[in-house]
Amino acid sequence: MADAAIAGVPASRPRLDSFWVVPPLLILAALFFYPLSLIVREALGGNEAFTLSHFSEVLSSRRFLDGLYNTIIIATCATAGCIVLGFVLSLVIAFVPFRGAKSVARLIDTFIALPTFLVTLAFTFIYGSAGLLNVSLIRLFGFDLPPVDFLYSQWGVILAETTVYTPFVMRPLLATFSQIDQAQIEVASSLGAKPLRIIRQIILPAALPALVAGGSLCLLLTVNEFGIVLFIGAKDVITLPMLIYSKAIQEFDYTTACVIAVVNVALSLSLYTLYRLIIAHFGGNRAGVV
Amino acid sequence: MVQAMVMERSLPAATPSASAAPADAVGGSRIGFENVSVTYGSLTVLQSLTLTVNPGEIVALIGPSGSGKTTALRAVAGFVRPSSGRIMIGDRDVTNLAPYDRKIGMVVQNYALFPHMRVEENVAFGLRAHGASEAVVRARVPECLAMVGMGAYAKRYPRELSGGQQQRIAIARALANKPQVLLLDEPLSALDAQIRRSMLDELAKLHRDLPALTVLYVTHDQTEALTLANHIGIMRDGRLKAFGGAQSLFRNPPNRFAAEFLGRANLLPVNDLQPAGEGRVSVRFGATVLKARNHHRLAKGSDCLLCVRPHDFKLGSSRPDANRLSGVVRSVQWQGDVHNVVVEVAGECIRLSSAPMREPPEPGASLDVHFDPADVTVVPEDGADG
């Protein structure tokens, strides 16, 4: 009797559970899928007949190709910078004993919460034409023009993005480093391994999943970065988000903007899929390894 | 100063093969602590340790948690820098050398195998770190794995091995470089009792196979220390409280702490020590006069402790010259191959271990026990450091 009563309970559960999926789906549809569908619709001809002609026109244009090239180069270089800088800084914080290491780690968490333009603004104050560095150099050496002039170029964007997104690599890395068995490092050292070998053969393999996950996240974020590029105001640095902005807001060419937006979304989703696959690979297949 | 007795041992060559390690690293080497202290801020965790582990010897450091035994081992490994004193390996002062320059092998409690490397890569790690050629690695790795009976597991990952197997690999890895000294930091603590016994036998066999290897063994388990070690150091509060040959220290503990920590001795408060001929002394325990050895040459008339091991007490009829005590049984505990009985004698509770009895005494019953004067010794009450 009791068994029958217990057995009867789960039967009515799934219907109730299914109901709760509806509100978030409705919100998602209203806020995300509907606007996205409008963009795709506009890119494919809008109110007129379905056509791919806008795509072929935009995708073959010099401006789009430059934008795509810039986007990929900036995102790749900034991500590489984040990985290298994040790994080195995390190593120092985690393995070099110094007073205040924990405070520095907490500060990095805070850094993630700051708006991206703040770093760009700071860069302008330091490296800009009238920034601290240039003014000091001009006073010291009497230059006619500001000698440091990288900020308004592709390299300025890369440096700013590297600075902003490095904490995204450091957070998972520091979490991983805190779990590495100190005894492994000590035993490796007792076996004759010098620090560089220990980093290469013991720490790096253990940190690889965190490094790849953090790096993938950085790549995803830098591909879509808009604020930093806009704030720096580098005239020759046109990325896909900047191109969408200029087409839609400055030129009122919504169709072209929508086509580029669709490409940007496809690029982002591809990167996100890659990110999930990497996480699944390390989280599943190599769970016992790291 | 405490120094291990020099053991006369033949030192045959270690297992023959090409090695990446330099020639002087093949044989065993002396470990010397010379007045070594380690402090963290105002806290002294190791105080003026002077100790020598002679080539080919196993010296076990035992003691409760926080006694400084692991700090001493880590100082030899180079992970702890002494605040004063010197550490010698062979003729080299290694006090300020980096761990990777010390030519040591080390095995730790949790194995610390490299999880992303196969067994063979783990064993080859030290060889490659020393720049050994691949030919040497290919020759030496199977040799080391065979030494610990793990030849068939070369291609496995550590996660595919049991705890005992992982510890064998850790030992093979530590020995691959043919180190001068081997440091074992509670290597069996993470294993269950049955595997621990078996590993203990294997460690003893390994040292018979590699008699030139000098071993510093840190443990809190007295059985491991008594089974393996030539000499034992007993530590407390960062100090070496006793040091000596394993059997000698067990039979003649120099102080209360050593007697209690190593073998859980009964320490009966006795007084009026008097010579009794044949190297024996008589002491008074309450109203009873008992005879014992006076290994530590305590002065006539002194108050001291009589150290009686639980298994030295006998039940039933006794020889005429045996010490006899009568008391009341307080508890009886059967542990399979042994009966542990607590008897109250003259206000003191004594523990005795006996072979399993068919009819053990009941609590509250009177019981006569006796022990041979040759089996017991008097120990200074003031606990003079050994």
A187 to chain B: nearest residue by CA?
B106
CB of B106 within 8 Å of any CB in chain A?
yes
Q: How far is A202 from chain B, CA to nearest CA, in Å?
A: 7
Please determine, for residue A198, whether its predicted confidence score (pLDDT) is greater than 90.
yes
Q: What is the residue-level pLDDT of chain B in tens, covering all 386 positions?
A: 333 332 323 323 333 233 333 333 334 589 999 999 999 988 999 999 999 999 999 999 999 999 999 999 999 999 999 999 999 999 999 999 999 999 999 999 999 999 999 999 999 999 999 999 999 999 999 999 998 999 999 999 999 999 999 999 999 999 999 998 999 999 998 888 888 888 888 899 888 888 889 999 999 998 899 999 999 999 999 999 999 999 999 999 999 999 988 888 999 999 999 988 877 999 999 889 999 999 888 888 888 999 999 999 998 767 778 899 999 999 999 988 899 999 999 889 999 998 888 888 999 999 999 999 999 999 997 654 44
Where does the pLDDT of residue A98 fall: very low under 50, low under 70, confident under 90, or very high at 90 and above?
Answer: confident
| Alpha helical stretches, state H, chain B | 69-77, 119-129, 134-147, 163-175, 193-209, 222-228, 246-251, 256-261
Fold topology of A58-285: MetI-like fold (1.10.3720)
Could you say which of B99, B114, B159 has the minimum Cβ distance to residue A190?
A: B99
B191 plus B278 within the same structural domain = no
Please tell me the predicted confidence (pLDDT) of residue B1. Answer: 36
Mean pLDDT of A9-17: 60
A186 to chain B: nearest residue by CA?
B79
B269 plus B242 within the same structural domain = no
- B-chain residues near A191 (CB < 8 A): 100, 105-106, 125-126, 129, 173-174, 176-177
CB contact under 8 A, B129 and A290: no
B244 plus B353 within the same structural domain = no
Mean pLDDT of A247-260: 88
CA atoms of A41 and B166, how far apart (whole Å): 61
Query: What is the DSSP code string of A111-169?
Result: HHHS-HHHHHHHHHHHHSTTSHHHHHHHHHH--SS-S---TTSHHHHHHHHHHHHHHHH
CB of B99 within 8 Å of any CB in chain A?
yes
Q: What is the pLDDT of residues A156-174, one digit of tens each?
A: 899 999 999 999 999 999 9
Q: Is residue B2 part of a domain?
A: no
Please tell me the predicted confidence (pLDDT) of residue B6. Answer: 29
B246 plus B268 within the same structural domain = no
B238 plus B307 within the same structural domain = no
Domain CATH code at residue B350: 2.40.50.140
B33 plus B168 within the same structural domain = yes
Where does the pLDDT of residue A6 fall: very low under 50, low under 70, confident under 90, or very high at 90 and above?
Answer: very low
| DSSP character at residue B159 | G
A206 to chain B: nearest residue by CA?
B116
Where does the pLDDT of residue A12 fall: very low under 50, low under 70, confident under 90, or very high at 90 and above?
Answer: low
Query: Which one of B224, B251, B278 terminates a domain?
Result: B251
- Contacting B residues, span 121-160, partner chain A, CB-CB under 8 Å: 125-126, 129-130, 157, 159
CB of A201 within 8 Å of any CB in chain B?
yes
Q: How far is B106 from chain A, CA to nearest CA, in Å?
A: 6
Please tell me the predicted confidence (pLDDT) of residue B308. Answer: 94
Q: Is residue B325 part of a domain?
A: yes
B166 plus B277 within the same structural domain = no
Whether the complex's predicted ipTM is more than 0.85 is answered with: no
pTM of the model: 0.79
Q: List the beta bridge partners of residue B371.
A: B323
Q: Is residue B386 part of a domain?
A: no
**Which one has a higher pLDDT value, A103 or A91?**
A91
CA atoms of B183 and A261, how far apart (whole Å): 63
Could you say which of B100, B109, B183 has the minimum Cβ distance to residue A194?
A: B100
B223 plus B76 within the same structural domain = yes
Number of separate domains in chain B: 2
Mean pLDDT of A111-131: 83
- A-chain residues near B114 (CB < 8 A): 184, 188, 201-202, 205
Please determine, for residue A265, whether its predicted confidence score (pLDDT) is greater than 80.
yes
Could you say which of A189, A190, A193 has the minimum Cβ distance to residue B105?
A: A190
Closest CA to A71 of A181, A223, A218, A196: A223
Could you say which of B79, B115, B125 has the minimum Cβ distance to residue A191?
A: B125
* Domain range summary for chain A, segments of one domain joined by +: 1-43, 58-285
CB contact under 8 A, B157 and A183: no
Where does the pLDDT of residue A4 fall: very low under 50, low under 70, confident under 90, or very high at 90 and above?
Answer: very low
Q: How far is A289 from chain B, CA to nearest CA, in Å?
A: 5
**Residue type at position A219:** L
A210: Cβ contacts below 8 Å, ≥ 6 apart: A172, A173, A175, A176
- B-chain residues near A187 (CB < 8 A): 106, 108, 112, 170, 173-174
> For residue B272, what are the domain limits?
256-380
Mean pLDDT of chain A: 84
